[in-house]
């Protein structure tokens, strides 16, 4: 059998979690919380099941949840999406991104990704028959380089995938950067897939710059988010996509033959839970405290802390400790120190090699302290 994805193996998240388990290491690799979600959310889903919301929902998702999403986007980012025609509930952000790309990419189209980037984008583009055009972020700051993005645009460019707050680097795009992208794409037909799964995790008083805030971006964007990140339920795999009606109509053509619908009781539970904005409005302070605890604990080590402006990741440069390649360093760290991390190189093909690894701090204070006790030897 000829593989559709010949250069793809098992994702680094699965392999590092397996290695962490094998060595009994503290798993700060794969990004997921190790604490419970709000019991009120579980009660809301439980109530939905008991109310017999257990059959297929509408293809685009439970209306109450789409309305709650539209209301949230309008309140936070000032853009009104029509819940009937412009929002679709997906099986996590992963499906949202894949479905958006399958819906718009034709064989031979080019899609720009900014490296390092989340590992599903490139295989998704390839499955859609597109050609991945890799543009590096600035290798020191991980900020977008608009000259390089401009140089990568061609008549074949169908779309660009962006991600803020950024996995893995934890940078957050500024309003000025979003405006630069908006200006760059003005007058073109280039679409945007805007991965905003960490939208509610932005620190130090900064605010999330959703593509929805910028009319010139909103009109060409699929905005993707994930309840898994926002409500500490990554295993539920429920997310959503917002896009202008014409784009969403194409999205739904694929969605209906991709997953058709997403599980019903979770959607009802999420819809009623979303009535209270406090859980997502409290998230920046909640995660900033974890970030600060983790950073403070690493200051005595030879790990050099990179900025963490948003998301639940903290990257560090370990070049004072070792000149091992980052994947080898992560394996060594898991085996010998007892803490698992993710190598930065897992997020790029062409970006320059660096001595940088990513930790996830979406963990209880006790877990973070256990990891810090081990890392103190560095
Ligand atoms: N995009 C990014 C940047 C992510 O970090 C993740 C989390 N793995 C996803 C998409 C996928 O989110 P979900 O679990 O909702 O599919
Ligand atoms: N988004 C998470 C991460 O970047 C988990 C991804 C996954 O397990 N596929 O670690």
Domain with CATH 3.40.640.10 in the chain: 39-276
Report the C-alpha gap between 38 and 302 in whole angstroms: 37
Mean pLDDT, residues 71-83 taken together: 98
Confidence of residue 354 (pLDDT cuts 50, 70, 90): confident
CATH value of 39-276 in 3.40.640.10, 3.40.50.1370, 3.40.710.10, 3.40.50.1220: 3.40.640.10
Mean pLDDT, residues 3-18 taken together: 91
How confident is the model over 210-268, as pLDDT tens digits?
A: 999 999 999 999 999 999 999 999 999 999 999 999 999 999 999 999 999 999 999 99
Query: Given a cut of 90, is residue 153 above it in pLDDT?
Result: yes
- With a 6 Å cutoff on the Cβ, whether 338 touches ligand 2 is no
| Contact indicator for 149, 184 with CB cutoff of 8 Å | yes
Strands 26-27 and 339-340: parallel
Domain with CATH 3.90.1150.10 in the chain: 12-30+282-375
Report the C-alpha gap between 199 and 280 in whole angstroms: 9
Report the C-alpha gap between 220 and 182 in whole angstroms: 10
- With a 6 Å cutoff on the Cβ, whether 194 touches ligand 2 is no
In this prediction, residue 128 carries a pLDDT of 97
Provide residues with CB under 6 Å of ligand 1: 31, 92-94, 118, 163, 167, 195, 197, 226, 228, 234, 237, 239
Report the C-alpha gap between 193 and 51 in whole angstroms: 36
**Atom number in ligand 1 closest to CA 91:** 16
Mean pLDDT, residues 294-299 taken together: 98
Give the pair of three-digit tokens for residue 186: 């003005």
**Atom number in ligand 2 closest to CA 94:** 9
Give the pair of three-digit tokens for residue 330: 């992560």
Report the C-alpha gap between 267 and 15 in whole angstroms: 31
Going by the DSSP 8-state scheme, the letter that residue 211 receives in this structure is: G
Domain 12-30+282-375, second-level architecture: Alpha-Beta Complex (3.90)
| Contact indicator for 29, 17 with CB cutoff of 8 Å | yes
Atom 5 of ligand 2: nearest residue by CA position: 31
Query: Given a cut of 90, is residue 353 above it in pLDDT?
Result: no
Report the C-alpha gap between 34 and 43 in whole angstroms: 20
Query: Given a cut of 90, is residue 351 above it in pLDDT?
Result: no
Distances (CA, A) of 11 to 17, 110, 310: 10, 24, 23
Report the C-alpha gap between 331 and 12 in whole angstroms: 11
Place of tokens 């784009």: 247
Specify the pTM. 0.98
The pick from 10, 13, 236, 363 for probing ligand 2's pocket by mutation, whose C-beta has the most ligand atoms within 8 angstroms, reads 13
| Mean of per-residue pLDDT scores for the chain | 97
Q: Provide the ipTM.
A: 0.97
In this prediction, residue 103 carries a pLDDT of 98
Q: Count how many residues are written for the chain.
A: 378
């Amino acid at each position: 059998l000829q593989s559709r994805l010949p250069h793809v193996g098992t994702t680094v998240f699965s392999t590092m979690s397996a290695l962490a388990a094998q060595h009994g290491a503290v798993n700060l690799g794969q990004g997921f919380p190790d604490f419970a979600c709000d019991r009120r959310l579980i009660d809301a889903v439980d109530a939905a099941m008991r109310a017999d919301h257990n059959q297929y929902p509408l293809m685009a998702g439970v209306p109450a949840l789409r309305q709650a999403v539209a209301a949230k986007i309008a309140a936070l980012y000032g853009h009104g999406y029509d819940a009937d025609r412009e929002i679709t509930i997906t099986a996590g952000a992963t499906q949202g991104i894949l479905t958006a790309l399958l819906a718009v990419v034709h064989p031979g189209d080019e899609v720009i990704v900014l490296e390092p980037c989340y590992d599903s984008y490139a295989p998704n583009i390839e499955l859609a028959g597109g050609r991945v055009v890799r543009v590096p972020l600035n290798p020191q700051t991980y900020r977008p380089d608009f000259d390089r993005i401009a140089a990568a645009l061609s008549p074949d460019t169908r779309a660009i995938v962006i991600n803020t707050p950024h996995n893995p680097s934890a940078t957050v795009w500024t309003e000025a950067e979003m405006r630069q992208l908006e200006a760059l794409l003005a007058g073109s037909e280039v679409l945007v897939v805007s991965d905003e799964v960490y939208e509610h995790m932005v620190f130090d008083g900064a605010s999330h710059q959703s593509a929805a805030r910028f009319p010139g971006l909103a009109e060409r964007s699929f905005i993707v988010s994930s309840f898994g990140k926002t409500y500490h339920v990554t295993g539920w795999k429920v997310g959503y996509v917002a896009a202008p009606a014409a784009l969403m109509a194409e999205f739904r053509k694929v969605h209906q033959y991709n997953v058709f619908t997403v599980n019903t009781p979770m959607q009802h539970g999420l819809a009623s839970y979303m009535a209270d904005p406090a859980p997502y409005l409290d998230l920046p302070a909640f995660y900033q405290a974890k970030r600060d605890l983790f950073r403070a604990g690493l200051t005595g080590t030879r790990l050099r802390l990179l900025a963490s402006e948003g998301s639940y990741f903290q990257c560090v440069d370990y070049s004072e400790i070792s000149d091992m390649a980052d994947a080898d360093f992560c394996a060594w760290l898991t085996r010998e120190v007892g803490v698992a991390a993710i190598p930065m190189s897992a997020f790029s093909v062409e970006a320059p090699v660096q001595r940088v690894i990513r930790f996830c701090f979406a963990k209880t204070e006790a877990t973070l302290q256990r990891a810090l006790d081990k890392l103190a030897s560095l």
